[in-house]
Structure 1
Amino acid sequence: METVSRCFGGPAESRSTAVVATTVVTTVALLSLARLALWPKKQAVILGPLRTSIPRLSKAEIDEVPYPPGAFPGARDVSTPYGDIRVYEFGPEDGRKVLFIHGISTSCMTLKDIAMPLFEKGCRIMLFDLFGRGFSDAPGDLPYDTRLFVSQILLVLASSPLAWTGDNAISIVGYSLGGGIAANFAATFPHMVESLVLLAPSGIIRPENFGRASRLIFASGIIPERILAWLTKRRLRQPLATAVSKKPRAPADNAPQSGTGKEDYADVAIQEAVDPADEKPPTPFEQRVLGYVHWALDFHDGFVPAFMSTIRYAPLLEQHHYWRQLARRKPGTTAVLLGRDDTLIQLDDYVEDALPLLGGKDNVYWQVVPGSHNFPFTHGPDALKHIYKLWGIEQ
């Protein structure tokens, strides 16, 4: 009875110790539950729409998808340890082999106005959807950095029945994020890339061009993953006007501009769809591209996680060490095309920062074309004429 008495009717110190212990155990349990809820365990592979959403849609619903499964000829799905990759390959087997790499928030549909005319000129075309975009699966437990994207390119090239490797085997056309990826790939495998065309490429964007709050939210890891994913998804659903209303317009009288011009990271996604500098209503194709972003939010479970990881780790900023290596390329084999009204890849910044890294205009084909960040599909012919000139293709 004395032992029982000690257990249930002990001194005040024992009761205090029990209260503290109970509080600690409860707190740890609650924190563990909160961590599981807000920082969930990551999947190895998040399946894409071809294996989740598309099979549940009717034929009529599939026909309404902004980026349909049959967008290009020669479709195949490449099975890899990272998940399936959607690839399209078509054109003459003996034609110039051209690999296209699209941007951060869209699919390879945005390069149609460049790829199809080159196909008609006799090129062998290969397009693919980056992980977490289009119809490709999304690795859920890896950073979306240069290592992952270079690995994806090698997997895509290896999936072809034709030889896409070797000395001067391919030409690469990279747009936006795809330009940053293409630059790093060409710097890593210089012997493989005969010609490199960068359309509004990322890589040398100045960090201060993004708002401090936006950088903190995405880079710090302070905000739990589930909450950040919800915020990102909500932001990408907002109307276009809210993303570009703060953009400074170039005044006719050259008066000082108002506004900070700071970008929200979500603006990167939206500017790939619609030209914020154009006062005219979006074109039907711009509406389709923007419609695809909204469709992906609903039907691609890996889209938002891939976008968030890309913002954190992909070659958007401070890729100077890769770009310096591109200066060693043979003069005239690297081209950079920039949009005159692009507020994301800012012309003056790239002239000052990127052009010297590439060896100057004597070493690189450097041109400014009409349009904003999405000029590859709003001013495709203007971009194409420079590619034709670079490659000696008759126009």
Structure 2
Amino acid sequence: MPQSVQNTTPGVLYTPDTSAQVGPFPAKPSPLTIATDILSRLLAVTVAPRDVALVSTTVVGTLFVFFLLRYVLYPKWRKVIPSPMRASFPKVSPESLAKQVYHPEVLPGARDVRTPYGTIRVYEFGNQNGPKVLMIHGISTPCITLAPLAESLASRGCRVMVLDLFGRGFSDGVGDLPHDERLYTTNILLALASSPLPWTGDRAFKLIGYSLGGALAASFATTFPNLIDSLVLLAPAGLIRAADFGIVARVMFRSGLVPERLLAMATKKRLQRPIAATAKPRARPSLKQETSATEQIAEIAVSETSAAMVPPEETPLEIRVDEYVRWMVVHHAGFVPAFMSCIRHAPLTDQHETWETLGKVMGPGRVAVLLGEKDEIVDWCDYERDGLPLLGGHERVHWKVLGGSHDFVMTHTDDILREMKAAWTMGATEPGHRCRHLKGRSTAPVSA
């Protein structure tokens, strides 16, 4: 039989006994034998009572501080974060909701869709037999930004569906999953499945996406090209250059080194501050300027509601939407986590492969891209240079540059409607005047 494990060397917990051998090889003790021997030697060490108390206190104190800081600085978000309509605290009164530009009755055909991810707010209205149009909003605003377009399309005989993405408006937030194209594809499919009308089949509906919604729509169309009759991308994210965010911003939001709660506090503070408080009249911020990381990232959000930089009489809807975003920061516990997760995981940047696939799976005339000439986030020259060739050029895409900045879905609704009508009836466009960055190149310029 093998001898018990022995160790005669001071300071060494375990040395195998090779006295018992099987053939030419030493006997191999079992893991249980090794563990038992090590434990017995540790327990045999004599420690003074005072030292035991000191070590115990140090261990307990260290563990307490560790778990306290982890709880405080790295909160674990709930799986489902209730929207303002369902949250128990802070309780939002119906009167408070009614005062906002976006309230539960702002659009017809409202329904709350219960899902395993929480409740989704969906609006569906218009001619039941008309062409179906699904609209997806941006990163920081709910579907109210698309209301003028939606109502105009419905008045022209379309069946329109708009929804609040998870964590915005009256949809619950999702706290335990990354807010990437997979989650939002599920978000879209759940909304479609909730309709009493069929929204599936060959080329079943037209898809419109704005800002983040444009990136999500592009991803959705590459996955389900057979469902989409035509795709309209309004100032879409996706080809924004990651370098434009700056190294500090990328480290803060994507490295995981900055505690979640501190990042949430900084983001909340920036999103609650009116743009006019830090901007000159008509001055448009740029992600390329030397600003703080949270300032750079938050400009994506506030650029969707930049009405405070123009006279109130020009865009009253935008001013109220800007106020609603600040209200949502306070009253929707799922908004800031959703916003930060989108910065980390959503397809905001470097989606060239998706655009290339989109150009292949969508036929000529089925894609329209509309951009704002003064957009401070989506640079139309960069998009023309990087994105237009991926989609096949003007021969395959309806590509137009309109007036306005990133919020042009509210300021230039009529222009967008005109171009969508042209895209849906005529298809691709002829090039117009040339972007200054492309002078002398063979790439076809955009139309104005």
Q: Same fold (TM over 0.5)?
A: yes
Contact persistence 1:197–1:336 (CA under 8 A)? yes
Identity %: 50
Structure 1 CA distance for aligned equivalents of residues 387 and 166 of structure 2 = 27
Contact persistence 1:78–1:85 (CA under 8 A)? yes
Structure 1 CA distance for aligned equivalents of residues 88 and 102 of structure 2 = 13
Q: Which amino acid in 1 is paired with 2:157?
A: G
Structure 1 residue 74 corresponds to structure 2 residue 109: yes
What whole-Å deviation, never above 9, does each CA across 1:340-376 have from its counterpart, x for those lacking one?
Answer: 0001001111111111111111111110000000001
**Which blocks of at least 5 consecutive residues in structure 1 are unaligned?**
1-9, 251-256
Quick check: 169-178 or 267-276, which moved more?
Answer: 267-276
Structure 2 CA distance for aligned equivalents of residues 28 and 125 of structure 1 = 55
Structure 1 residue 62 corresponds to structure 2 residue 91: no
> For the structure 1 residues 246 and 145, does the alpha-carbon distance in structure 2 shift closer, same or farther, using more than 3 Å as the test?
farther
Contact persistence 1:144–1:306 (CA under 8 A)? yes
Structure 1 residue 388 corresponds to structure 2 residue 428: no
> For the structure 1 residues 55 and 264, does the alpha-carbon distance in structure 2 shift closer, same or farther, using more than 3 Å as the test?
closer
Structure 1 residue 355 corresponds to structure 2 residue 355: no
Shift of residue 28, structure 1, vs aligned partner = 2.1
Quick check: 53-62 or 263-272, which moved more?
Answer: 53-62
What whole-Å deviation, never above 9, does each CA across 1:191-249 have from its counterpart, x for those lacking one?
Answer: 11110000000011001111322222111111211111111101111220366559977
Contact persistence 1:53–1:300 (CA under 8 A)? no
> For the structure 1 residues 172 and 54, does the alpha-carbon distance in structure 2 shift closer, same or farther, using more than 3 Å as the test?
farther
> For the structure 1 residues 32 and 138, does the alpha-carbon distance in structure 2 shift closer, same or farther, using more than 3 Å as the test?
same
Contact persistence 2:92–2:331 (CA under 8 A)? no
Structure ID, larger Rg: 2
Structure 1 CA distance for aligned equivalents of residues 389 and 278 of structure 2 = 32
Shift of residue 19, structure 1, vs aligned partner = 3.1
Structure 2 CA distance for aligned equivalents of residues 349 and 136 of structure 1 = 34
Larger RCO of the pair (alpha carbons < 8 Å, separation 6+) = 1
Secondary structure, aligned partner of 1:264: helix
Contact persistence 1:274–1:374 (CA under 8 A)? yes
> For the structure 1 residues 261 and 31, does the alpha-carbon distance in structure 2 shift closer, same or farther, using more than 3 Å as the test?
closer
Aligned residues: 376
Structure 1 CA distance for aligned equivalents of residues 192 and 75 of structure 2 = 34
Structure 1 CA distance for aligned equivalents of residues 258 and 422 of structure 2 = 48
Other-structure match for 2:366 = 333
Contact persistence 1:341–1:371 (CA under 8 A)? yes
Indicate which of 370, 375, 382 corresponds to 1:342. Answer: 375
Structure 1 residue 208 corresponds to structure 2 residue 237: no
Other-structure match for 1:260 = 289
**Which blocks of at least 5 consecutive residues in structure 2 are unaligned?**
1-44, 427-448
Query: What's the TM-score once normalised by structure 2's chain length?
Result: 0.79
1:111-150 equivalences in 2 (<5 Å):
111-150=146-185
Structure 1 residue 319 corresponds to structure 2 residue 354: no
Shift of residue 162, structure 1, vs aligned partner = 0.9
Structure 1 residue 100 corresponds to structure 2 residue 132: no
Contact persistence 1:54–1:62 (CA under 8 A)? no
Quick check: 50-59 or 156-165, which moved more?
Answer: 50-59
Structure 2 CA distance for aligned equivalents of residues 144 and 197 of structure 1 = 22
Structure 1 residue 51 corresponds to structure 2 residue 83: no
What whole-Å deviation, never above 9, does each CA across 1:285-319 have from its counterpart, x for those lacking one?
Answer: 11111011011012111111111111111110111
CA RMSD of aligned residues (A): 2.6
Secondary structure, aligned partner of 1:79: strand
Secondary structure, aligned partner of 1:392: helix
Structure 1 residue 377 corresponds to structure 2 residue 410: yes
1:171-210 equivalences in 2 (<5 Å):
171-210=206-245
Shift of residue 260, structure 1, vs aligned partner = 3.1
Contact persistence 1:275–1:373 (CA under 8 A)? no
Other-structure match for 2:335 = 303
Query: What's the TM-score once normalised by structure 1's chain length?
Result: 0.89
Other-structure match for 2:434 = none
Other-structure match for 1:272 = 304
> For the structure 1 residues 60 and 14, does the alpha-carbon distance in structure 2 shift closer, same or farther, using more than 3 Å as the test?
closer
Structure 1 CA distance for aligned equivalents of residues 326 and 78 of structure 2 = 23
Other-structure match for 1:253 = none
Structure 2 CA distance for aligned equivalents of residues 160 and 383 of structure 1 = 27
> For the structure 1 residues 167 and 54, does the alpha-carbon distance in structure 2 shift closer, same or farther, using more than 3 Å as the test?
farther
Structure 1 CA distance for aligned equivalents of residues 363 and 282 of structure 2 = 38
Secondary structure, aligned partner of 1:368: strand
Contact persistence 2:119–2:172 (CA under 8 A)? yes
Structure 1 CA distance for aligned equivalents of residues 280 and 337 of structure 2 = 27
Structure 1 CA distance for aligned equivalents of residues 90 and 48 of structure 2 = 64
Contact persistence 2:180–2:345 (CA under 8 A)? yes
Structure 1 CA distance for aligned equivalents of residues 284 and 239 of structure 2 = 23
Indicate which of 19, 22, 32 corresponds to 2:67. Answer: 32
Structure 2 CA distance for aligned equivalents of residues 163 and 249 of structure 1 = 43
Contact persistence 2:281–2:310 (CA under 8 A)? no
Q: Which amino acid in 2 is paired with 1:301?
A: A
Contact persistence 2:356–2:390 (CA under 8 A)? yes
Q: Which amino acid in 2 is paired with 1:298?
A: V
Indicate which of 271, 289, 296 corresponds to 2:321. Answer: 289
Q: Which amino acid in 2 is paired with 1:203?
A: G
Secondary structure, aligned partner of 1:143: coil
Structure 2 CA distance for aligned equivalents of residues 127 and 53 of structure 1 = 26
